[in-house]
Amino acid sequence: MEKFKEGLEFIGEMLVALLVLIIIISMIALPLVRLDHRGQIQRYNAFRDTLSSARISDFNKIEKASILTEIADWNMRIASAKYWRGTIFKFYIPKEFIELEIIK
């Protein structure tokens, strides 16, 4: 019985150590992920400015397809961020990122 009790104590200590490690990693990752999203906001604004000033009618089919692919990529990122913002991971995504408009 004593060995069983010691085994349970060891398992409990390992679980506590694992949880502490997970919390530390989460706290380190939080500012890094938020920083990346803030950088994406700047890239999004630059893309929107470029898109609004570009003469898309002068582009050939390949260039138009490339722009549509980039638009679809940004729209997927925004939709994904809106989804994850509604979960437990909402602290990782800045509010400013989900306020970005879908590109049409």
Nearest to 40 by CA among 88, 85, 81: 81
- Residue 104 is given by DSSP the state -
Q: Convert the pLDDT of each residue in 61-96 to its tens digit.
A: 888 889 899 999 999 999 999 999 999 888 899 999
Neighbours of 22 (CB within 10 A): 10
pTM of the predicted structure, to 2 decimals: 0.75
Backbone region of residue 35 per phi and psi (left: phi > 0; alpha: psi in -120 to 50; beta: other values)? alpha
**Domain range list for the chain:** 32-98
